[in-house]
Amino acid sequence: MTVYLANDPLAMLTGYTRGTAVTLADRFDLDLTPRLADTALLERVFARDTGGPDDVVLGRIFDALNDHPEPGDEHLTDRWYRGGRRSLSVGDVVALGPRHYACAAIGWEPIARPD
């Protein structure tokens, strides 16, 4: 996973638009092993899924980088904030392999790779 933070504070209000300047903030792997024994977690995962194949992963990243990680993702939150970064917000971008998504006011918008 790759996370880019928008440089313009107004992006938190207006969202990401093509040409929004972003800075590479971090790269990391996320353990995608299903946690089938955790019924409560499964209920949250299925409740969050709005149809996009990456919704669950993006939700976990958002939670971890906003200081409320899901069980097992606490190390990502610790790493993120130890690096002095702000919370992931509207206008920021997350890449899952070749697919890029901008954090929107509600959910995620698929976008082309940022410049």
The per-residue pLDDT for 77 is 96
Structural domain boundaries in the chain: 2-111
The per-residue pLDDT for 94 is 98
Give the model confidence (pLDDT) of 38-94 as tens digits.
555 555 555 555 556 788 899 999 999 999 999 999 999 999 999 999 999 999 999
Query: In Å, how far from its chain's centre is CA 15?
Result: 14
Above 80 in pLDDT, residue 13?
yes
The per-residue pLDDT for 111 is 97
Above 60 in pLDDT, residue 110?
yes
The per-residue pLDDT for 56 is 87
Above 90 in pLDDT, residue 106?
yes
Give the model confidence (pLDDT) of 20-37 as tens digits.
999 999 999 988 776 544
**Angle value at C-alpha 2, between 10 and 15, nearest 5 degrees:** 20
The answer to whether the beta carbons of residues 58 and 30 sit under 8 Å apart is no
Four-residue CA torsion sign, 16, 19, 20, 21: positive
